[in-house]
């Protein structure tokens, strides 16, 4: 990959690997019961779905590990993109990635977004675009299999709202935007990692 150094890539992969190990090691049956769980729901799930309590607990443990790993994947993308010259991890800015010159801000989506959150995220990006008059602000969708880069329009039955510098963009197009390489996302070795 020509948009970040090999050393930076290896550090990002190492951090992700450590996150996987930590997530798997931190969740056990013993720690499972110390987490806040809905025992009534688990009981009904077991009875109504004819699943043993043991299998249900194992599935819930895997779900919790997967949720931790999903967060780590987001951090991985922040670190990769933050290694591109001119960009940095958002850290305390409230954004996942930003341009060092404040001309670009991005928020990442890694799981389906509840409908009532969409307006709040749009407003956050629009506010940032109004503060930084030269900035384009992006809601980056890592869940979509389709490629897109479009102005974000929030539509209701009564109205539609948009901002000339607020966009929705797929992960591959966002990588292309930051790297000027249309295949940058597909070149990530971890996308094609075989274990």
Strand order in 87-89's β-sheet?
A: 87-89, 97-99, 104-109, 136-141, 160-170, 149-155
Same domain, 95 and 138: yes
Residues 77 and 35 in one domain: yes
pLDDT at position 152 is: 96
Residues 90 and 178 reside in one and the same domain: yes
Specify whether 118 is located in the same domain as 62: no
Q: Are residues 96 and 190 in the same domain?
A: yes
Other Cβ atoms closer than 10 A to 84: 17
Identify the pLDDT of residue 30: 65
Q: In terms of domains, do 100 and 46 share one?
A: no
**In which residue ranges of the chain is pLDDT below 50?**
191-195
Shared domain for 102 and 193, answered yes or no, is: yes
188 and 92 in one domain? yes
Last residue of a domain, one of 83, 113, 142: 83
- H or E stretch covering 61: helix 53-82
Close Cβ partners of 92 (under 8 Å, ≥ 6 residues apart): none
* Burial (0-12, 13-18, 19+ Cβ within 10 Å), 77: buried
Encode pLDDT of 149-161 as tens digits.
999 999 888 889 9
Q: What global pTM score does this model have?
A: 0.81
Q: Do 180 and 122 fall within a single domain?
A: yes
pLDDT of residue 181: 94
- My answer on whether 98 and 169 are in the same domain is yes
Please give the pLDDT value at position 31: 66
CB 151 within 8 A of CB 164: yes
The residue out of 56, 83, 110 marking a domain boundary is 83
Q: The domain containing residue 110 runs over which residues?
A: 86-195
Q: Which of residues 64, 83, 102 is at a domain's end?
A: 83
Total number of domains in the chain: 2
Q: 90 and 72 in one domain?
A: no
Q: Write out the two tokens for 114.
A: 């509840």
For the chain, the maximum distance between any two Cα atoms, rounded to a whole number of angstroms, is 57
Q: Quote the pLDDT of residue 34.
A: 64
Examine the domain organization and report whether 99 and 177 are in the same domain: yes
Q: What is the token pair recorded at 5?
A: 């150094």
């Amino acid at each position: 990959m020509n948009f970040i150094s090999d050393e930076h890539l290896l550090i990002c992969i190492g951090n992700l690997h450590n996150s996987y190990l930590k997530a798997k090691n931190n969740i056990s049956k013993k720690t499972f019961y110390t987490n806040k769980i809905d025992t009534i729901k688990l009981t009904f799930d077991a009875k109504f779905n004819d699943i043993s309590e043991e299998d249900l607990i194992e599935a819930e443990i895997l779900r919790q590990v997967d949720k931790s790993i999903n967060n780590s994947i987001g951090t991985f993308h922040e670190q990769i993109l933050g290694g591109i010259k001119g960009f940095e991890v958002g850290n305390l800015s409230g954004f996942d990635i930003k341009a060092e010159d404040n001309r670009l801000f991005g928020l990442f989506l890694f799981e389906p977004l509840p409908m009532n959150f969409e307006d709040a995220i749009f407003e956050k990006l629009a506010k940032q675009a109004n503060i930084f008059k030269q900035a384009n602000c992006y809601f980056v969708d890592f869940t979509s299999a389709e490629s897109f880069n479009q102005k974000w329009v929030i539509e209701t039955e009564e109205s539609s709202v948009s901002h000339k510098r607020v966009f929705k963009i797929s992960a591959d197009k966002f990588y292309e935007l930051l790297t000027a390489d249309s295949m940058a996302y597909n070149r990530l070795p971890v996308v094609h990692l075989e274990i």
